[in-house]
Amino acid sequence: MIHPLISVGLAACIAPAFAADAWLTNIGEACKQAAAQNKAVLIEFTGSDWCNPCMALRKNVTGTKEFENYASKNYILVEIDLAKFKKDPTGLYKQNWGLYEAYKVRGVPCILIMDPSGNITSRFGYHPNNESMKKTLENTFRKNREFHETLAAAERKTGDAKILELTKIYKSVPEDNRHNYQALFNRLVALDKNDLSGLVAETQKKLAIKAMRAPIEADLIGIKDPVLLESKIDQHLLRTDLPNDLRATLLTTKAQIRLFRAKTEQDIDNIQPLLDQALKIDPKLDKEINRTKDYIRGNKQQILEQNRRRNH
């Protein structure tokens, strides 16, 4: 598997450059052409010999001359075929599965829209016809162009001003979407030797949290007795070095265990302070916790009945 931190050019340069007609198979080459021609890059991840929706997309949309005519005006086209049964003398299809992992694709067909620097500005899937696809590509190209122009303006600055402007762009991206802007992150880390952006320290903190989370998860996984599991969670909650998001996760897990064990409506009501505490510690959990609260409020009798049946 190619590591997600590897740059787009390095991740893709090992593959042959051309597929058929207007489609390339090398993402790095596509980015070079996009930069030279002032275009974006369109990458289609497909399973040409096993995925029925992929075959339909190729037949009805992306494999048509109509698609090629309108898409190639603004995009350099790349096909990443995840074929399973075709002969693979060059190892291309095997390498493509590495790209599938590197770009965090979770299913096919999947189309990525990328700027020439390697930042993914849009992701989408199956479209039934050229009419809907054309409309999507017009919208995604505008979004891509706006991002690319903003990035180019930041790159024209020098010194700390450039770093601060690039940091502003990166941090404007929602955190759960930043994996699509790995190229910008890599650029910032390369420029920011003194960590003016704070991204190096932030990354080290995330790695430390991940390292702390692993043994706790290993300690809890596989425990089927809810009483023992809650006791183990309480032991970990006594630690003073737990980061907020991990402490909040343990609290919500404890709430779920108590909900699983509840015998009365009062037992269910007693779960509320745990959820409130978790939300206070980690406000990013607001949607998840509020959904849980709404479910509990509207289904108390159903929850108690399920618990009674499980225990008899």
Question: What are the beta bridge partners of residue 24?
Answer: 18, 78
Order of strands, sheet of 120-124, starting from the edge strand that comes earlier in the sequence: 23-24, 75-81, 40-46, 110-114, 120-124
Whether the pLDDT of residue 16 is over 50: the answer is no
The three state secondary structure string of 238-282 is: CCCCCCHHHHHHHHHHHHHHHHHHCCCHHHHHCCHHHHHHHHHHC
The answer on pLDDT for 15 being more than 50 is no
The ranges assigned to domains in the chain are 8-157, 204-310
| Residue 120, Ramachandran bin (φ over 0: left; ψ between -120 and 50: alpha; else beta) | beta
Per-residue pLDDT at 206: 80
| DSSP bridge partners of 46 | 81
Asked if pLDDT for residue 11 goes beyond 90, the answer is no
Name the residue with tokens 């339909």.
56
pLDDT band at 4 (very low <50, low <70, confident <90, very high): very low
Q: Are 108 and 54 in contact (CB under 8 A)?
A: yes
Reported confidence tier of residue 6, pLDDT bands at 50, 70, 90? very low
**Dihedral of the CA atoms 51, 100, 185, 150 (nearest 10)?**
-30
Confidence of residue 18 (pLDDT cuts 50, 70, 90): very low
CB 44 within 8 A of CB 63: no
Which amino acid makes up residue 231? Answer: S
Residue 21 binned pLDDT confidence (cut-offs 50, 70, 90)? low
The residue type at 128: P
Mean pLDDT of the chain: 90
Among 71, 91, 75, residue whose Cα is nearest residue 83: 91
The Cα–Cα gap between 182 and 121 comes to 11
Q: In this structure, which amino acid lies at residue 303?
A: I
DSSP-derived 3-state class of residue 36: helix
- What pLDDT does 75 receive? 98
List the structure tokens of 181: 């802007």
CATH for 8-157, among 3.40.30.10, 3.40.50.300, 3.30.1490.390, 3.90.1300.10?
3.40.30.10
User: What is the crossing angle of helices 159-171 and 130-155, to 10°?
Assistant: 150
Mean pLDDT of 168-193: 93
List pLDDT tens digits, range 35-93: 999 999 999 999 999 999 999 999 999 999 999 999 999 999 999 999 999 998 888 99
pLDDT at 1 over 60: no
How far is residue 44 from each of residues 79, 103, 107, measured CA to CA in Å? 5, 12, 11
State yes or no: pLDDT of 284 exceeds 90. Answer: no
- Tens of pLDDT, residue by residue over 96-111, are 999 999 999 999 999 9
241 DSSP 8-state letter: S
Strand-pairing partners, residue 23, are 77
pTM exceeds 0.85 for this model? no
